[in-house]
């Protein structure tokens, strides 16, 4: 009888340890992963068409921002008014820290050289905004544009301006909804 009681206590302790382990995994999945690694974001608006559309869900990864590994043409999610204001934008990185950006005759120039890119919905950019004059990016700043440049509020507008690295929350990896367009995003 004593051995039976010991076995019951051992099984009970084992069950409690398993429950504790599952609780830790659930907390990591709910709190840690979205805050530091991966997060789902819902696209709202047409500024990234034809690449992304309203109500599509994308998965962003947050490691490349912390590792300073963002590249030209990456699609990023950022808070234009800082992380305390709950409004995020999704745009494509065009200019990198330390570069000079200018839009002239509907085309983008980086450090004086024409940028060869095929992401814009329109062939030429009709509104250069602040980039009609050369913009020099700081060491922690990015110049971003939406792919649908006719409707996009982006770095050309003073209300958004150059995006500081600290305001970028992640880089878009995959489109996860709807299932019919599941896959990577270029």
Q: Which residues are catalytic?
A: 47, 91
Instruction: Return contacts of 73-76, CB within 8 angstroms, 24+ apart.
Output: 73/117, 73/119, 74/171, 74/172, 75/48, 75/51, 75/171, 75/172, 75/185, 76/142, 76/144, 76/163, 76/168, 76/169, 76/170, 76/171, 76/172
Report the alpha-carbon distance of residue 157 to residue 146 in Å, rounded. 12
Report the alpha-carbon distance of residue 29 to residue 32 in Å, rounded. 6
């Amino acid at each position: 009888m004593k051995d039976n009681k010991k076995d019951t206590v051992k099984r009970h302790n084992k069950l409690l340890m398993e429950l504790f382990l599952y609780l830790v995994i659930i907390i990591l999945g709910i709190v840690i992963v979205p805050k530091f690694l991966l997060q789902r974001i819902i696209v709202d608006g047409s500024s990234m068409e034809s690449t992304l559309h309203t109500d599509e869900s994308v998965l962003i990864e947050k490691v490349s921002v912390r590792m300073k590994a963002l590249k030209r043409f990456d699609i990023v999610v950022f808070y234009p008014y800082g992380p305390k204001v709950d409004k995020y934008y999704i745009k494509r990185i065009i200019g990198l820290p330390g570069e000079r950006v200018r839009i002239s005759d509907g085309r983008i120039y980086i450090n004086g050289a024409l940028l060869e890119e095929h992401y814009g919905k329109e062939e030429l950019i009709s509104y250069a905004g602040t980039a009609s004059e050369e913009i020099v990016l700081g060491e922690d700043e990015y110049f971003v544009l939406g792919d649908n440049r006719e409707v996009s509020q982006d770095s050309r507008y003073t209300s958004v301006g150059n995006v500081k690295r600290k305001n970028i929350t992640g880089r878009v990896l995959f489109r996860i909804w709807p299932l019919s367009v599941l896959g990577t995003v270029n």
